[in-house]
Every structure is written in structure tokens, then in C-alpha cells.
Structure 1
Amino acid sequence: MKAPLFDAIEKYAASRPVPFHMPGHKMGKGLPEAFCSGMAKYDVTEIPGTDNLHFPEDAILMAQDMAAEAFGADKTFFLVNGSTCGVLAAMRTVCRPGDRLIIGRDCHRSVYNGISMWGIDPVFINPAYNPEFGISSITEPSVVEKALTDYPDAKGVLITSPNYYGICSDISKISKLVHDYGKILIVDEAHGAHLRFNRKLPLCSMDQGADISIQSAHKTLPALTPGAFIHIKSKSVDIDKLQRNLRMLQTTSPSYLVMCSLDIARAIMQEKGESLLDDLLDSIYNFRKQIAGINCISVLTGDSLQKGSHDPTRIVIGMGCKRGFETEKLLREKFNIQVEMSDMNNIVCIATVSDNNEDLSKLACGIRQVAESFQAEESLRFKVPSRIPDTPERAIGMREAEDLPQRKVPIRNANGCIASDYLTPYPPGIPVIIPGEVYTDEIIGYVLGIVDAGGKVNGIYGKQLVNVVG
């Protein structure tokens, strides 16, 4: 049987890697054996006894209600099309075509898709910047308040917390501001589905006043890809409209495997989450001790931040200027460790309740040996990384830019051109330029720096060509 995708995944699994990437079940370790071994028999459809995702009355309704209780929501819906589906549904529920929405510039690609699909007029706000690691940080409450003051007709605010690096904004302060202005707060909490289940972690957004929260269970819980939740805790959100939007956006053939895994993940975390996360946190603190004293690396912790908080289960290691991509490659090739992502300067590892002390000890050993190999090279110094480019000028709307004729030009010659496509370092999937915005030398240099260092940027084609209007 020739099945190239199956063969590729089988080869990866057979190599017995140490996976510090999503999904959170870590190649089945965190899921019940009975579910994993009998997976095919759970792949059913809407028949008597299995309920209907779009009009639940029985088992799915009960499972969603139990999830709402576990996650501190008034209402929870299962998402089988990932958090992307929840983000799009939330945006369409809160906004009509032409409405303004205040949006964190560090949002995921799905938010930009929603802007284009629903004809939303975005008001972008920039996150703070962490110069030690060269990454975006929190969304400042003062920045949110200024946008609310400057754009009183905005329907709401959409921000990301935690971000890909585990940095959490002060949702309590932000939600109070948003509600004082009579608006709705949507939090893309894709990386925070586990937060509510241990008091040592930052508070989840539902417990800090968010109206809508979208969580990717498959990222940090023992759930199958692309299982996710959308939670609502607000009288200001039109639940009926949200349900209609979910019916429109979700497949009419939902995966019962994914829904079962959402139900299982909720049950595991509700019953044992606190103790499982305690064990994980102990392993993470032991990991930190094992890599302490390596003088050419830096570990992102809450102490690294002037404001906000950090989720310690998101392990971020600064490896030195332009060493992130190389470190990921060496860990994979020499130690059979696959991290979640790397950027110019850092590696990012996702640790979940499916990981154990042995996994983290292997990671510590790998990082130590890679760092020691770097120390011998004079070029390795912890320089302040290149700053993330400022938001470029918007010349025309996104939909107009996407619909106009376009051409490809070498990115080095794109200064002054209007983008007709996204340029998105992936991961983490946050565009540096979107359709309708104007290319600058700063953006071009930043993107080429990522490519030259070995990173992947979606939106660059062939011999470093990009799509522009014209």
C-alpha cells in the first residue's frame, strides 16, 4: 500500500521521539488505552444515542454542560474545526459588516481571516515588547483604554492571552475597562485550556471577566487535533446568534473521535488536573535546576516580565542571537527531541500533563549539550534581537486588496508596494504584513532575516517572491 502521509507519520512515531509539541496527549500517552486501541470504533455519525452536535439534546449536550462547569462558563460549545472556527464565530456574533473591532496586532491568522470574511474595520493595538527574548509580550490595559476612548463606536475588543510564549495579560483589568465602556471582550485563549485546573498557574480568562473565550484543547490538554472549546460567560453575548454561526462554520460531519477526546480531556482535568499539573510543575522546576548555570542561555519566567504573568508549562529558552532555528534542528537530529517551534533566538516547548520527569530530563540534557557546543563558537553572544516591525501603514482595506489584480515581485524590491497576501512566520502564525498594508524596508529586512536564519515564512514563493497589488 502506497500512502505517503501515513508512511511519514508512521516513520516519525516509530523513531520514538520525545515530543514537546502539540497535541497535548503526546502521541497517545495522555489518553486512555481503551480509547487509543479502539479508536476506529468510536468514529461514528449521528445515529440514535450519539446525539447531534448542531442540535444537541442528549450526550453531547450533557458533555458540553459538564465542560461549562469545569471551565467556569455559563455555556460551552465543542469545536471540531479548531479554535479558528470559534474565533470566526465570535467575531461574526459581535460584529456586523463595517463595524469596528479593537484587535491585538499579535493575533492569530484566523482573526485576520475573520476581518476579511466579515467585513470588519479593525483597530489594531500593539503588544508590549520583551527585548531580552525579542518577542511580543502583554497587551497593556492602558493601550486598550486609549483605543476604547479613540474609537467609542467599536463593538468590542479581541486579544490573545496567553500568547505562543505563555505570556499572560492582565485580563481582569482589561475586562473591567472593556465593560466600563459597554463593550464585549473576546479572548483568544488557544494556549490556555489547562490554566483553570491548578492554582499555581495564571488565572484563566473566564475567571477574570472575559465574555467569550476560545481554547484549543488539543494544544495543552490530552485531546485530539483540532478539538477546541468556545466558552461564554456574559449576558451581552447573543447565544442564539453564536449557535447559528457555529452551525454555519462547523462541518456537518463532525468527528466523534474529536468530540469524545474533548469529553475525555475535560473529565481527566476535572478529576485529576490539579495533581497532574502539580507533578508536571515539579518536573519543570527540576528541569530548570538541571539547566541552571549554563551561561549562554536564558529561561523565560515570570521574573523576565515587568508586567503580566507567565505560564511555566510553556518552556521558552533563549539560545542566543540567531540560534533558535539551529537549536531546534540539533535537538531533533542528535537527541530525537522535537520542540513545538523555534524563532530567530528561542526554542518553545509545550509541556502538558502527558509529559513526565524523564521527558524533561532528556530535554535538559539535550539543551546543555547543544549550548556547550555553541559556547566554543565566538559568534554566539546574547545580543539584543531585532525588534518586531511596527504595524505598517494601511493603504486600502483587506478585502479590496485581496480582490484587486495582483502580481509577484522579489521581496527585496517590494518597498512601497501594497501587499495582497499575508507574510506570516509560521509558527507562531502571526502576520507581519496583511493585505492592504504597505511594505517597508524594516519589514523586508526582518522577514529576510528569518529566512536567512533558517526559519519558515508563509507567503514567500519561489525565489523569494511576494504578492502585491497591481
Structure 2
Amino acid sequence: MPSLRQSKAPVYEALLKYKSMRVVPFDVPGHKQGRGNPELTEFLGEKCLSVDVNSMKPLDNLGHPVSVIKEGEELAAEAFGAHHAFFMVNGTTSAVQAMVMSACKLGEKIIMPRNVHRSAINALIISGAIPVYVNPGVNKELGIPLGMSVADVRKAIKENPDAKAILVNNPTYYGICSDLKTITELAHEHSMLVLVDEAHGTHFYFGENMPISAMAAGADMAAVSMHKTGGSLTQSSFLLIGKRLNVGRVRHMINLTQTTSASYLLLSSLDISRRNLALNGQRIFDKALYLANYGRDEVNKLGGYYAFGKELNNGDSVYDFDCTKLSIHTRDIGLAGIEVYDILRDDYGIQIEFGDIGNILAIISVGDRALALERLVSALAEIKRRYQRDKAGMFDHEYINPVVVMGPQQAFYAQQRSLPIQESKGKVSGEFVMAYPPGIPILAPGEKITEDIIDYIAYSKAKGCFLTGTEDMDIENIKVVEE
């Protein structure tokens, strides 16, 4: 049972009180509670604009909270089973950056899987930390990266005893979970911190029969995208902290990159959503799990598609599976995931989370309904009937093991020149190439450009993946490090 305190939402309550006082604003923002921008007020609503306000004594200050935000953080920590929780309004990107910068200084090592989100590699560029990549296992039939095996983590620790931390994706975009508890215990035995990119794992803290959460596993820090599956506004997240960390130092690191003009719309959405999950989370995620399992069963009855789940579990690189993820393999109907993604949106008015070379992902969470799942399944059945073709000649892998030549920061700031991607084989990349979403780099600064990578980029473009990362907006040219 949640504590009675969890029925409180101090930031939200303070905003309601502020609104009732009918304060005359001579501060920012300049729209003055919406009166200065009637079009925006009509679009977003007077209620929204009236509480889009600046930090002030009654509303506290995110960079140095002493009252209502401080209380909101304490309630969030209690709800998530953490020692401390930070409200994050620059997205989980800033939470991941704060984790890495809190754990590692310039030149210090951090062990991590290569299939991390771009935000983690950006954190290396900012901090100057040196990655020790553990290549995840790969399911060759599905073409997806898995989790980190305990044996591979143990080997990385043995070869790099001076590493300061281990970063774990849990779950991955596809729902794959590593053996987080064992990895955490192993890291702590060697005096290393454990940082968890838990962007897609908010529901682990509140649902039943879920994979273990980062805090329950004893991790030191976890970046949680409350907006992804917890119901808060886009760009709002929590950074959770265990007892081994200095809370004040972590706040200093957060304040290096987080805005000094925190949005109270985002803050109050975190506050309200935390209260909702603390009070009703088990019921909410029981429903989400039921809907996802229903969708998985119905998709698998169609034939041709494969909506995968816990049957992938192998006790190691797939230690557990997040069954709220409706991950569907599409290659057996002769269509790339991105092709199915585009058809669903353009022909059926259905927007899913992402499509890659061989798979699509539908996120099932607090706001989903059975009717919507039925519509998705019906659309997939019709797409199979209308578009199915021979899968011969399709690209058969997703994850390519990188060849790391230099640290990301060194490569990013090195002297560079631009080359056509097709002519860049053997060079060292000075920038990223990635499909977004999910934002996991195909190529990152400091990595050798191989023929496999060039082919993968060309195939992704041909199939319609949205590629980003290079200065060249057409993704025809790439900056390489001068030799």
C-alpha cells in the first residue's frame, strides 16, 4: 500500500494556490499568463498558459529546491524506492548526461553496451570519459541487439579494473533486460558504480510481474523517462539516486546542463503523474500488460509476423523481457519494419513508436485501449494481405559491432574533413549517423567506417528510415577525422 503522503502533489498544489491569488505578473514569461499571445492561448488553453510561470519563492526553484519542489522530489524518491529523486525537465538525455558526469571525470573509463542511446555517447563527448564497449548479444533471426551477458561484463571488469562505472540499458527499446542484479553486485564488488538507462522502464516500479527495477536491483543511479510510460508531459523525467552517491554533487552536475528556467508545466506533470502511479500504478500497468499480451497473441495468430516476448529469455543476455513492449518482427512478410511503420501511419492513421530494418515497436502504456489494439491488429492483417512479398534480398542484420579507434571526445573535436559516405570506408568518423527513433547510433565519433556500415546506411535510406546526426542534412556526406 502506498503511504498516505503519496496522495499529495506539492508542486501542483502550489500552482493552484498561485493561480487563485490572481497575481499581477511583471516577470517572465512575456506572454503574461497568455494575454500577450491569444493564438497560443486559444491553442493550448487559458488554464495551461496561466500556470506557465517563472520560479518564485512560493513555487521554489528547481536548481536549488527548498520547499515544494524539494517535497515533490522526496515523494518521488519514496514512490520509486530511491534514496533521492531529481525532477528533470531537459528530458532523460540530461539525466543520462548527469549520471555519466557524476561517475566519471576526464579520461576515466566507463563500461557500457554499444547499443546505448545517443545521449550516453554525447555524455562521453562532454565529459571526456572513455568508453569500454561490451558488445551485446545479437538475435540473428530478429536482427536485434540483446542485453549484456554477465560473462562479458566480468571480462570487461577484469581487463579494466580502473573503470569507474558500468552503464546498463534496462530495458532496451525492444524490451530486452539484462541480469541487472548480478551485474550490479559484480560492479559493486569491484568498487564501480552502476548507472541504468531506464528510459523505458517507469512501469517496472509500479506494475506486478515486471522485470526488476534499477533501484530494487541496488543500482546507484537510474534515468527514468516518466513521459514515455508514466503519463507525464514529453521531456519530463526523473533521475533516481541510491545511497552510495553524494546528492549535492549530482545536483551540481545536473545544473551544468539543465535549464535555469524550468517549465512548471513539466514539473507539475511529473508531480501529478507520480501521485497517480503511486496510488493507481498497479491497476494501470495490469491493464497495460493485459492489452500488450492480447495484442501479441492476436498478431501471432496472423502468421508472417512474430510478436516476440518472454520465450526469448535465456537467463543471461535476455534475462527478462518487458511484456508491455509490443515488438513485432516483419521481415518474414517481405517488408522492412520502417515500411510497415510508414504504411500504418500513411494509410491507416496509426502512429507507432518506431520501425527499423526488421521490426516495429508499439508502446503500450497508461493511455491505451483495447479498441486501439484491435485497430492495429486489423491494419497489420490488411498490410500483410496487400503488401506481402518474397523476403529474398532483404538486409538480414541490425547491429554491427563497432571498431573503436579513438575516444568520442577526441574524435569529435579533432581536425575533420567532409567526404561522401560512399567514399569513407576505412576512415574514422567524426560525427554520428543514427536512425531516429530510436536514436541508437549506427556510427559514433571515433569509430571506423566499414563497408558493412556504409551498406547499412544506404539500405536504411532506401527503405525510408529517418537518419540524423551528420552536419549534412541529406546524410550524403560525413565528417571524418584527418589522418
- The Cα offsets for residues 129-160 of structure 1, whole Å up to 9 and x where unpaired, read as 11222111111111111111111111111121
State the match for 1:256 in structure 2: 264
1:233 corresponds to which of 242, 245, 254: 242
One-letter amino acid of the counterpart of residue 385, structure 1: D
Distance in 2, Cα, partners of 1:348 & 1:66: 32
Q: Is the 8 A contact 1:296 1:381 kept in 2?
A: no
1:41 and 2:53 matched: no
Structure 1, unmatched stretches of 5+, are: 1-34
Q: Are the aligned partners of 1:319 and 1:371 in contact in 2 as well (CA < 8 Å)? A: no
Superposition deviation, residue 36 in structure 1 = 7.9
Q: Percent identity?
A: 32
Residue of structure 2 equivalent to 1:207:
216
The 5 Å alignment of 1:274-423 reads 274-306=282-314, 307-320=318-331, 322-375=335-388, 377=389, 379-380=390-391, 385-394=396-405, 396-423=406-433
Offset from partner CA, 1:271-329 (integer Å, 9 cap, x none): 11111111222222222333332221101201133231111111111111542111111
Q: Secondary structure at the match of 1:402?
A: helix
Q: Distance in 2 between matches of 1:171 and 1:382?
A: 37
Structure 1: which 4+ aligned runs deviate by more than 6 Å?
Answer: 381-384
| 8 Å CA contact 1:106, 1:430 repeated in 2 | yes
Q: Deviations over 1:154-183 (max 9, x none)?
A: 111112111111111111111011011111
Structure with more relative contact order (C-alpha pairs < 8 Å, separation 6 or more): 1
Contact 1:134 1:384 in 2 (8 A): no
Equivalent pair of 2:130/2:408 in contact (CA under 8 Å): no
Q: Which residue of 1 is the match for residue 21 of structure 2?
A: none
Letter of the 1:186 counterpart: L
Q: Aligned match of 1:91 in 91, 95, 100?
A: 100
**Which one-letter code corresponds to 1:303 in the other structure?**
E
Q: TM-score, normalised by structure 1?
A: 0.88
Tell me which amino acid in the other structure corresponds to 1:229. Answer: F
Checking the alignment, whether the CA contact within 8 Å between 2:139 and 2:146 is kept in structure 1 is yes
Indicate conservation of the 8 Å contact 1:331/1:366, yes or no: yes
> For residue 335 of structure 1, what is the amino acid of its counterpart?
Y
Query: Contact 2:293 / 2:324 at 8 angstroms: preserved in 1?
Result: no
Q: Superposition RMSD on alpha carbons, in Å? A: 1.8
Does structure 2 conserve the Cα–Cα contact (< 8 Å) formed by 1:109 and 1:429? yes
The DSSP-based 3-state class of the residue aligned with 1:194 is: helix
Structure 1 counterpart of 2:443, one-letter code: I
Distance in 1 of aligned mates of 2:290 and 2:97: 37
Name the aligned partner's letter for residue 325 of structure 2.
Answer: R
Greater Cα shift, 51-60 or 40-49: 40-49
The aligned counterpart of 1:192 is: 201
Q: Kindly indicate whether residue 172 of structure 2 is the aligned counterpart of residue 163 of structure 1.
A: yes
Specify the alignment match of 1:51 in structure 2: 60
Paired with 1:80 and 1:333, the residues of 2 have a C-alpha distance of 32
CA distance in 2, matches of 1:152, 1:233: 22
1:463 positional shift: 6.7
Query: What residue is the counterpart of 2:188 in the other structure?
Result: 179
Q: Specify the alignment match of 2:437 in structure 1.
A: 427
Once residues 216 and 265 of structure 2 are traced to their aligned partners in structure 1, the CA distance between those partners, rounded to angstroms, is 29
CA 1:400/1:287 → structure 2, altered by over 3 Å: closer, same or farther? closer
Residue of structure 2 equivalent to 1:16: none
Gaps of 5+ in 2: 1-43
Q: Residues 384, 177 of structure 1: CA spacing in aligned structure 2 closer, same or farther, 3 A cutoff? A: farther
